[in-house]
Every structure is written in C-alpha cells, then in structure tokens.
Amino acid sequence: MSSLAPLLVLDLDGTIAETAGDLIGTLNMILAEEGLSPISLESGRTMVGAGARALIERGFAAGGAPLNAEKLEALFHKFLAIYEDRIAQESHLYDGLQASLERFVDAGWRLAVCTNKIESASVKLLEALGVARMFAAICGQDTHIHEGKPISKPDARALLMTIALAGGDPATTVMVGDSKTDILTAQNARIPVVAVDFGYTDVHVSAFNPDVVISHFDDLWDAVAKITNSRANPAA
C-alpha cells in the first residue's frame, strides 16, 4: 500500500470553474479584428477545453476563414495577452467546489490541476479565484516537455507527470474532468475518473464511460469513496 497521500487531480475549464465567458469574450475580440462574426456563448461552450490554439482554430472554422500555422501562432500570443488581462472578469468557481476540496484536504488528500490551458494563465486564474494555494501542482499544456514538444491531454503522460510533480501515486489518484479529453486521459493512464456533467462537451460525458458521473460538487466525496472502496475490494 502506498505511503503517499491520496491525490485528486482536476481539470480546470468546465470542471473547477465556469470560464467560457472570458474565453469566448477573448476569442470574439480576435474574430472582430479579423472581420469575422462573433461566437455565441452557447455555441462557444463546446469549443472550449482543448487549449487556446484549438479555440482559435474552431472560431475561424466556424467563420469559414482560412488560418495557416504562422497566423495561428501570432493570434495565439495575442489571445493570451488579451485573456490574461481579463482573466476572471466573468469566470467563477462552480458551486460547492471549494467546500468539497477543503473536505478532501482535511481528510489528508493532496490536490493538483491538469489542464490544457497554458500554465501561467492557469495559475493566474486560480489565484484570482482564491484557490491556487490549495493545489500541490498546477500543470498546463506547456508544463511537461518531451523532445522539445509539449505533452498535453489526452496523452497519459500529462496526467502521470502531474501526479509525480504533486507527490502522488497513480495507485491512489483519482481524476476529475468534464470532457472526453479528460476521460480519455485518465483511461490512457489507467486512473479512475469522475466526470462532471455541467462542463464543456457537446456529448454527455456518460457516453465516454467514466467511472462515476456527478452533477454537483456536493456529490464528489461519495463518488471518490465509491472508487476507493472498489479499489480496496475489487471483487466486491
């Protein structure tokens, strides 16, 4: 049995916090400068979650506009500057999140973040929302590099390297996310996963076979207990 504290690893956008307003607002500023139509918040919610580059690409695709790699890279840096300037104008923690995480901390769990958002923006957002101090590691899509290339979800290494950085053990780690990407990441790493059904996905998370689905953070403690009990009694 591991002597390390159990670890809860959470996605950020759509899991810890409702961030679509600031992300889509930033995207729309970019699109406006390019003469493209804005994206509604409702349709934009399904574009969020794979990182800023993917969000820009999806915004341009929705407008039927070409976007080469060089232009994408330039717009990516512009996006980051705009976004970090308005990091939490509209973003907020999901109801029950902080109290739920405090319960885990009080019970001896460690916490970490594994997101496809850039690390600096992730830290800045969590600081603005008042919860950065709770996490032993905050890892973004540019935190882990292999052979000069960033490692991001759904690559299992993104999660496994976050676990290592947070001082956890895969055998006592549980992932929490809101999307197919998060669920696949956990499955690729052979880590059990709790899916929240209020985040950013156009297909209900149950379609991707997470271990448990919850609709409110008040239910997270029991969901994780179900997983840990199953681990302890695999034949039960």
Domain with CATH 1.10.150.240 in the chain: 20-85
pLDDT value at 229 more than 70: yes
Distance CA 129, CA 93 (A): 7
The whole model's pTM is what? 0.93
Please check the confidence at residue 1 and state whether its pLDDT lies above 70: no
For residues 83-109, average pLDDT: 96
* 3-state secondary structure string across 34-45: CCCCCCCHHHHH
Q: Which of the four CATH numbers 3.90.550.10, 3.30.450.20, 3.40.50.1000, 3.40.190.10 does domain 7-18+92-232 have?
A: 3.40.50.1000
For residue range 45-68, list pLDDT tens digits in order.
888 877 788 899 999 999 888 899
11 belongs to the catalytic site: yes
Distance CA 148, CA 115 (A): 19
Q: Give the model's pLDDT for residue 236.
A: 55
- Per residue in 5-61, pLDDT (tens digit) is 999 999 999 999 999 999 999 999 999 999 999 999 988 888 887 778 889 999 999
CATH of domain 20-85: 1.10.150.240
pLDDT digits (tens, 9 = 90+) for 98-149: 999 999 999 999 999 999 999 999 999 999 999 999 999 999 999 999 999 9
CATH 3.40.50.1000 residue spans of the chain: 7-18+92-232
- Which residue among 11, 13, 178, 182 is the active-site one? 11
